Structure 1
Amino acid sequence: MEIFKSPTGNKLSCKGWQQEGLLRLLLNCLNPDIAKDPEELVAYGGTGKVARDLNSLKAIIEALKTLENDETLLIQSGKPVGIFRTFEFAPRVIMAGALLVPRWANWDYFQELSEKGLTAYGQSTAGSWSYIGTQGILQGTWETFFQVAKRHFGGSLRGKLVLTSGLGEMGSAQPIAITSNGGVAIVVDVDRAIVKKRLISSMIDIMASSLEEACEIAKEYISRAEPISIGVVGNAADAYEAVLSYNIKPDVVTDQTPAHDLKSYVPSDLSPEEARELGKTNPEMYEKIARDTIKRHVLAMIEFKKRGSVVFDYGNNLREQGHRVGVKDAFCFPGFASEYIRPLFCEGRGPFRWIALSGDPEDIYRTDEIILSIFKGDGRLKEWIDLVERRFAFHGLPARVCWLNYKERAVFGNIINEMVKLGELKAPVAITRDHMDAAAVASPFRETEAMKDGSDAVADWPVLNALLNCASGASLVGLYHGGGVGIGYSIHSGVTVIADGSREAQKRLDLVLKADPALGVIRYADAGYEIAKDIIKSAVFPAKAVE
């Protein structure tokens, strides 16, 4: 299969930068440096695809190259279905992905439709063409472990052991996030090739030959209160049970295996290759032994909690999978979002991203300088930029993520557009976000778990978010199903605006980057959170809340 890579530089292959920027983001999702399986169009998250099939991908590429500046391309679950005359300020691309009528919204029925070529699973940022590899999730993971340290250990993980699993596209952020907060990490992954890949790319510090060796190394570094990340090959359930048998009590236990999708979760006693083969030849048996392994996995985490470890679910629906196979108290440990991230959502703070369409890292370093000068009073932001510049190499198109709030996003977005206009950057910049944002997702086992007013499963908010972003003039808007936790468990929306230096882009950015996070503040104020209520009463809040 041909290798897809994003164009770089400032030469257009489309009829405008709005289309060009979206084309480059689409192809960047399939860059072999960041995509899980580009030949299968899978970017990350087990089976998260950027397009339904190869023919659909080629048709999307051709459509973007010929799309006029007053036309809108519609994508139905990874397949282009029509181009409509709209107007210049309308989105150039509108998407719906993996959406099913609730009565039929389950993995089995979805798989039937998928096998017939009628839908595709886009995860979150794969289907919305905004996946940027580990650099996209790193700050959220770093922030989560900071909040864990702040809540339980006086602000630092120094001298603390974190046991976790999963070094895939999302889980690969864990080692740096833990060590940069001072901790010692043992990270288990069933795939030797992935562990080696993370070692080569310096995502982990060392690769142990066995779990026993990993524990011995961890003890040494804990005694010296020095951070280190140790990767080890093994099945998560087996490894967690083994650590329990060693009578070692990690300070923190979590997990980022792809438990949301049983077809991607490797059961005990199988290699990844054996698991893939069994999944093809006997899918019923595969799912049975995968569920058996997940049951042991969850039970081990519950036992760690009983022994005094801080235990939390990192958003992969592991607890629900355990509950479905009979672990009655699977939800006795919390999810990361409700436990550690919710106060940030209440102030409209979330994973704001920008991607240098030039392909030149210097464009990102230049924006780093600017963001530090604008928000120079934010010590946490400076700490983050210093860390990521020092520890993390770019993959695919150079990109940066900062958890900015409802005021900061619009300010910085407009400055980026002005920098493009003045030629301070070599090409336009794509501005987007993760779907894990305040108004962008309804996910009762992750972002909206344990809402104060009980509105965990109310999915109006991401739908309103997508509609509002269309009305505000985003370059791309989409509404999706199942990201993060699997089919049947979430509805979420994505948005992208291309900062091309034009007055039109300035207007798009000003409207979208105010409306998108402000709706999140309103969502949490409506749910009864006092932080959010106070914000919407402030003179600078860019919307009017109706009570």
Structure 2
Amino acid sequence: MFDITNHNNIRAPRGNQLHCKGWGQEGAMRMLMNNLDPEVGERPEELIVYGGRGRAARSWDAFEAIVKTLLELANDETLLVQSGKPVAVFRTTPAAPRVLIANANLVPKWATWEHFNHLEELGLTMFGQMTAGSWIYIGSQGVIQGTFETLAALARKHFQSNTLKGRLYVSAGLGGMGGAQPLAAKMLDAVGLLAEVDPDRIEKRLATGYLDKVAPTVAEGVNEALRAKEAKEVLTIAVPVHATELLQYLVDNKITPDVLSDQTAAHDPLVGYIPDDYSVREAAVLRAADPDGYLEKARATIARHVELMLTLTRRGAKSFDYGNNIRRVAYDAGVKDAFEIDGYVPAYIRDLFAQGKGPFRWAVLSGKPEEIYKLDQLALDMFSENEALCRWMRLAKKHILFQGLPARIAYMGYGEREAFGVRVNEMVAKGELSAPVVFGRDHHDTGSVASPYRETEDMRDGSDAVADWPVLNALLNVASGAHWVSFHHGGGTGIGFSLHAGMVVVADGSADSAGRLERVLHNDSGLGVVRHADAGYELSFQTLEQNPVKTPLVGPETQPRRK
């Protein structure tokens, strides 16, 4: 069938042949493998999918054991995975999830990078990021739409436009998450200028068409970007330097970008950020020889990075932290005004979350791109009145190359997700699609995360750090019958700063899947609307009027005290 001991070129099976005892198990196995496909994962040979050290499994022994267990798992059994290691199979019920995953969860007093690093060194835990350790990563596309929606909202808010044509977007980082930035900028007609210290990452983005060109020096890159801006040309340029070098040049030459951000993996300074004056290779040597010294240098560079961002912000750049916790790392390193830079969720995404809209995604297990295109058209037909969604679907089909199993992401909301999922299940049942479809989402969603420096920053009622909601989300998705459910600590903003939950459901054409899809996709996003209604957001009350849920103590008349 396939050799799970060959770790060099993992590729998920395609087609409608069932290798496991049910499609719930099969979907989990294929998506785990898909995370480690060389087209998808950042360093799959190390089990690293994205985000610095976000892993799909704790070790290769654990990976093999997970796959072997899924192949044998009965339809009334549930596999438990503890931080990337399969630890037990228990008899449950056919309606229960087939897999439950918990990654990197630490008791709050011990929830520090230092303690986590110690446990990881002992082989007792792993960092699952968000969709790495929950087996639903789909490559750079997974973050492209979030970047697109953020930049589109920024354009509307600050430039009264639906595009960034004639605007200069400056950022850094072209890794598993940051690699989405140039393509999102292109989709909005901007000029993108990005710093990336790792030449291999630049080459990968050039090869996939996400990036147009590389400039050998900062001066050449800036000059070319300014020329394209003046001509209102759509162009993305990478410069193979540290972020600080690019930003310092802009500051010294009094050049202010229209839009400024960052997408390095600064949330994990030990692994995700290269300090000034070090190449990628030199940094790896220092990291191995002197991790404490490495952290000191990385945090000092991050502080300088944010100070330069602040200078450009005060000169008029529309700046935002794109969820990598760079402001907090800089704040802890002495930059006490770091939070003058906006967080992207309260500035641009909160209204979407309040309506239950977030990064919903699906992958076709057939492996056939044409089946994704069928589903693109289905979405356009079903939601023709949703202009923002239709705009995205058309742009995605035009610009995005598939990585691994063909997949799509779309910010569908409350009511839309289950309608779409149930309809797709009918298409599988009728043979209109040749194999099942996996539905999931990013953990970065409307009601599945508590992260005070990202998703729940500056909540209207001050509930930024209340983590009951992601716990309830995971529990509700188990009760609703998701095929696998995960609960993680630390993804996105790092250890100590977030708790978040994920879910996946497989549409295999059966009545059982239809029920699971209807319940899970309705309840999952519905809880996000309730969470925001509880915090007092008017858009959430309006959304609940259209899709009623029993909310005994949530409503306009019971709004909590505002900050």
**TM-score, shorter chain, exceeding 0.5:** yes
| Residue number in structure 2 paired with 1:436 | 444
Equivalent-residue separation in structure 1 for 2:479 and 2:132 (angstroms): 23
Equivalent-residue separation in structure 1 for 2:549 and 2:505 (angstroms): 19
In the alignment, structure 1 residue 34 sits paired with structure 2 residue 40: yes
Deviation at 1:334, TM superposition (A): 1.0
Question: Conserved in 1, the CA contact under 8 Å of 2:362 and 2:407?
Answer: yes
CA deviation profile, 1:225-274 (whole Å, cap 9, x unmatched): 12111111100112111111121111111000010001120001111111
CA deviation profile, 1:501-523 (whole Å, cap 9, x unmatched): 00000000000011000000000
The letter of the residue matching 1:111 is N
In the alignment, structure 1 residue 125 sits paired with structure 2 residue 131: yes
| Residue number in structure 2 paired with 1:151 | 157
| SS across alignment from 1:10 | coil
Question: Conserved in 2, the CA contact under 8 Å of 1:439 and 1:517?
Answer: yes
Equivalent-residue separation in structure 1 for 2:260 and 2:280 (angstroms): 24
2:255 aligned to 248, 260, 272, which one?
Answer: 248
Deviation at 1:537, TM superposition (A): 3.2
Equivalent residues in 2 for 1:439-450 (5 A)?
439-450=447-458
| Residue number in structure 2 paired with 1:230 | 237
The letter of the residue matching 1:174 is Q
The letter of the residue matching 1:355 is A
Equivalent-residue separation in structure 1 for 2:552 and 2:131 (angstroms): 29
The runs of 4+ residues in structure 1 deviating greater than 3 Å are: 542-547
Deviation at 1:178, TM superposition (A): 1.2
Equivalent residues in 2 for 1:1-16 (5 A)?
1-16=7-22
The letter of the residue matching 1:81 is V
Q: State the aligned residue count.
A: 546
Equivalent-residue separation in structure 2 for 1:532 and 1:34 (angstroms): 35
Question: Conserved in 2, the CA contact under 8 Å of 1:105 and 1:487?
Answer: yes
Equivalent-residue separation in structure 1 for 2:209 and 2:486 (angstroms): 34
CA deviation profile, 1:140-196 (whole Å, cap 9, x unmatched): 111110001001111121111111001011111111111221211101100111111
Equivalent residues in 2 for 1:322-401 (5 A)?
322-401=330-409
| Residue number in structure 2 paired with 1:427 | 435
Deviation at 1:455, TM superposition (A): 0.3
CA deviation profile, 1:92-151 (whole Å, cap 9, x unmatched): 001111000000000000111111111110000001000111111111111110001001
In the alignment, structure 1 residue 259 sits paired with structure 2 residue 266: yes
Question: Conserved in 2, the CA contact under 8 Å of 1:518 and 1:543?
Answer: no
| Residue number in structure 2 paired with 1:195 | 202
In the alignment, structure 1 residue 163 sits paired with structure 2 residue 140: no
| Residue number in structure 1 paired with 2:87 | 81
In the alignment, structure 1 residue 219 sits paired with structure 2 residue 217: no
Question: Conserved in 1, the CA contact under 8 Å of 2:143 and 2:177?
Answer: yes
Deviation at 1:543, TM superposition (A): 4.7
2:514 aligned to 506, 509, 516, which one?
Answer: 506
In the alignment, structure 1 residue 111 sits paired with structure 2 residue 89: no
| Residue number in structure 2 paired with 1:473 | 481
Pair 308,298 (structure 1): closer, same or farther in 2 beyond 3 Å: same
Deviation at 1:546, TM superposition (A): 3.7
CA deviation profile, 1:11-67 (whole Å, cap 9, x unmatched): 111111111011000000000011111111000000000001111111000000000
The letter of the residue matching 2:151 is F
Equivalent-residue separation in structure 1 for 2:12 and 2:123 (angstroms): 26
| SS across alignment from 2:179 | helix
Unaligned runs of 5+ in 1: none
| SS across alignment from 1:99 | coil
Equivalent-residue separation in structure 2 for 1:545 and 1:180 (angstroms): 43
Q: TM-score if structure 1 supplies the norm length?
A: 0.99
Deviation at 1:401, TM superposition (A): 0.5
Q: TM-score if structure 2 supplies the norm length?
A: 0.96
CA deviation profile, 1:467-493 (whole Å, cap 9, x unmatched): 000000000011110000000000000
| SS across alignment from 2:342 | coil
Equivalent-residue separation in structure 1 for 2:313 and 2:278 (angstroms): 27
Equivalent-residue separation in structure 2 for 1:541 and 1:353 (angstroms): 24
The letter of the residue matching 1:256 is Q
| Residue number in structure 2 paired with 1:309 | 317
Question: Conserved in 2, the CA contact under 8 Å of 1:189 and 1:235?
Answer: yes
Relative to structure 2, which stretch is displaced further, 485-494 or 281-290? 281-290
Equivalent-residue separation in structure 2 for 1:148 and 1:383 (angstroms): 16
Deviation at 1:535, TM superposition (A): 2.2
| Residue number in structure 2 paired with 1:91 | 97
| SS across alignment from 1:312 | strand
| SS across alignment from 1:284 | helix
Deviation at 1:541, TM superposition (A): 2.5
Equivalent residues in 2 for 1:280-299 (5 A)?
280-299=288-307
Equivalent-residue separation in structure 1 for 2:422 and 2:381 (angstroms): 15
Equivalent-residue separation in structure 1 for 2:133 and 2:160 (angstroms): 39
Paired-residue identity, %: 48
| Residue number in structure 1 paired with 2:557 | none
Question: Conserved in 1, the CA contact under 8 Å of 2:389 and 2:412?
Answer: no
